[in-house]
């Protein structure tokens, strides 16, 4: 099958392309770097010729409220229009567990808008809701700084390795459209503040992490279970400690190379 991965140069997209290729599919990475821009429409008609599936693993370069909304609305509208014209029969989009409960956040309002366009379109679809990536823990600290300290709510979450996200997305891309949402998550639950503190310590980052019950998660108020997946979520295998060891050896190997 020809499967076009929008955002195919990104963290998850590049791993999805690898996995699909290893299973004998013609996986095409598409992003501005390779001349395909889902916001302007540049290159879309060409790359979608003969494709059976589109995986949207793109992300907005800016997370400012208006910019991120414009990105996901314009990009998704374009993808769905060009896909309909090219006869692509399955649209797979990567989104986030709990998106519908996080509408106080500008980023999540944009993801809600993206999902609404997909559900309302005539194209069969699968929306994959993944939990936070281990790779995103430092980024989460970066967007949660107040007065030089990282303020995070001590609520539960069930984060996962990007490798497991990509395997989950690739598996869904080669299957029949779900016409609904499927959740994927990691094998263990943690408290958000606790895991970010552990991650910053391994990176030898001096920033203090405060467990703050009033802190927001990317602008949204969250409760104890807001970020958790439901009981039917498909779970990845990679535990946090295993991922830490793997990423430390990968970093050491890259340094030595």
Ligand X SMILES: NC(=O)c1ccc[n+]([C@@H]2O[C@H](COP(=O)([O-])OP(=O)(O)OC[C@H]3O[C@@H](n4cnc5c(N)ncnc54)[C@H](OP(=O)(O)O)[C@@H]3O)[C@@H](O)[C@H]2O)c1
The contact set with ligand X (CB under 6 A) reads 6-7, 9-13, 31-33, 37-39, 57-59, 61, 94-96, 111, 130, 132-133, 136
Q: Residues 6 or more apart from 253 whose CB is under 8 A from it?
A: none
Which of residues 136 and 190 has its CB atom nearest to ligand X in the complex? 136
Going from the C-alpha of 133 to that of each of 35, 52, 161, 209, the distances in angstroms are 27, 28, 5, 19
Q: In the numeric block, which tokens belong to residue 70?
A: 């414009």
Shortest distance (Å) from residue 201 CB to ligand X: 20
Which of residues 29 and 123 has its CB atom nearest to ligand X in the complex? 29
In terms of Cα–Cα distance, which of 208, 190, 60, 192 is closest to 148? 208
Q: Measured between alpha carbons, how far is 85 from 45 in angstroms, rounded to an integer? A: 8
Going from the C-alpha of 201 to that of each of 70, 191, 198, the distances in angstroms are 36, 16, 5
Q: Measured between alpha carbons, how far is 211 from 207 in angstroms, rounded to an integer? A: 13
Which of residues 142 and 146 has its CB atom nearest to ligand X in the complex? 142
Shortest distance (Å) from residue 250 CB to ligand X: 16
Residue nearest ligand X, CB atom distance: 10
Q: In the numeric block, which tokens belong to residue 251?
A: 């970093």
Element (H, E) at 29: strand 26-30
Q: Measured between alpha carbons, how far is 71 from 171 in angstroms, rounded to an integer? A: 26
Shortest distance (Å) from residue 247 CB to ligand X: 15
Shortest distance (Å) from residue 121 CB to ligand X: 17
Which of residues 168 and 256 has its CB atom nearest to ligand X in the complex? 168
Shortest distance (Å) from residue 6 CB to ligand X: 5
Which of residues 101 and 256 has its CB atom nearest to ligand X in the complex? 101
Shortest distance (Å) from residue 87 CB to ligand X: 21
Which of residues 82 and 206 has its CB atom nearest to ligand X in the complex? 82
């Amino acid at each position: 099958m020809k499967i076009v991965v929008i955002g195919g140069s990104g963290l998850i997209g590049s791993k999805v392309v690898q996995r699909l290729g290893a299973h004998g599919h013609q996986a095409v990475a598409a992003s501005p770097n390779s001349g395909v821009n889902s916001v302007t429409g540049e290159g879309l008609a060409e790359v979608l010729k003969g494709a059976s599936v589109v995986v949207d693993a793109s992300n907005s370069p800016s997370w400012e409220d208006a910019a991120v909304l414009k990105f996901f609305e314009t990009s998704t509208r374009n993808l769905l229009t060009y896909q309909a014209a090219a006869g692509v029969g399955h649209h797979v989009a990567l989104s986030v567990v709990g998106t519908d409960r996080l509408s106080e956040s500008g980023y999540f309002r944009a993801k809600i808008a993206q999902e609404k366009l997909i559900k309302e379109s005539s194209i069969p679809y699968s929306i994959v809701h993944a939990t936070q990536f281990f790779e995103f823990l430092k980024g989460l600290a970066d967007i949660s700084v107040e007065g030089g300290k990282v303020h995070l709510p001590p609520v539960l979450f069930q984060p996962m390795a990007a490798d497991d996200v990509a395997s989950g997305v690739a598996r869904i891309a080669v299957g029949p459209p779900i016409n609904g949402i499927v959740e994927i998550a990691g094998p263990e639950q943690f408290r958000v503040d606790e895991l970010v503190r552990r991650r910053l310590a391994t990176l030898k980052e001096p920033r203090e992490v405060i467990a703050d019950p009033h802190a927001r998660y990317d602008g949204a108020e969250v409760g104890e279970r807001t970020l958790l997946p439901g009981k039917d979520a498909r779970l990845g295998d990679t535990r946090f400690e295993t991922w830490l060891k793997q990423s430390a050896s990968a970093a050491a190997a890259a340094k030595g190379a």
